[in-house]
């Protein structure tokens, strides 16, 4: 079972990495959150792939400052926030439950609070 879990995490890591690289080319695809997901998946799936990923130029350019200093550029923050907002808006309109809608609004408010008050902003 552990081996299957590792394979799934590594596969998900490469999928997220591929989509993250696509996001470098296509501005509509969010790069940073996908690369964060890839990093998480590699960390859970394989120490070897985690070490490899952290040595890549993509990791160093897009994630290293966030991981080390808990900081992002304003552009990175807005890209992540807008992508997440799009997903939350879809969920908001797909549900009729008032409690779920209230929870989604609270999540959005907390997300903005966290990004602008807890994560330092780097100059572009």
* pLDDT computed for residue 105 by the predictor: 96
Q: What are 20's two structure tokens?
A: 């993250």
| Model pLDDT for residues 41-78, shown as the tens digit of each residue | 999 999 999 999 999 998 988 888 888 888 888 888 88
* pLDDT computed for residue 63 by the predictor: 85
Residue 32 CB partners (closer than 8 Å, separation 6+): 20, 62, 63, 66, 72, 76, 79, 80
In this prediction the pTM is 0.70
Q: What are 51's two structure tokens?
A: 């070490």
Percent of the chain exceeding pLDDT 90 equals 58
Gap between the Cα atoms of 65 and 103, Å rounded? 31
* pLDDT computed for residue 29 by the predictor: 78
Q: What are 61's two structure tokens?
A: 């350019």
Give the least confident one: 26-30, 34-38, 54-58. Answer: 26-30
């Amino acid at each position: 079972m552990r081996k299957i879990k590792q394979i799934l995490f590594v596969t998900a890591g490469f999928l997220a990495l591929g989509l993250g690289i696509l996001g470098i080319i296509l501005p509509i695809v969010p790069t940073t959150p996908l690369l964060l997901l890839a990093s998480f998946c590699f960390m859970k799936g394989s120490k070897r792939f985690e070490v490899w990923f952290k040595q890549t130029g993509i990791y160093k350019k897009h994630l290293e400052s966030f991981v080390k200093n808990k900081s992002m550029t304003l552009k990175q923050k807005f890209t992540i926030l807008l992508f997440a907002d799009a997903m939350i808006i879809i969920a908001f309109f797909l549900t009729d439950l008032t409690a779920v809608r209230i929870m989604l609004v609270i999540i959005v408010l907390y997300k903005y609070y966290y990004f602008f008050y807890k994560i330092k902003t780097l100059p572009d």
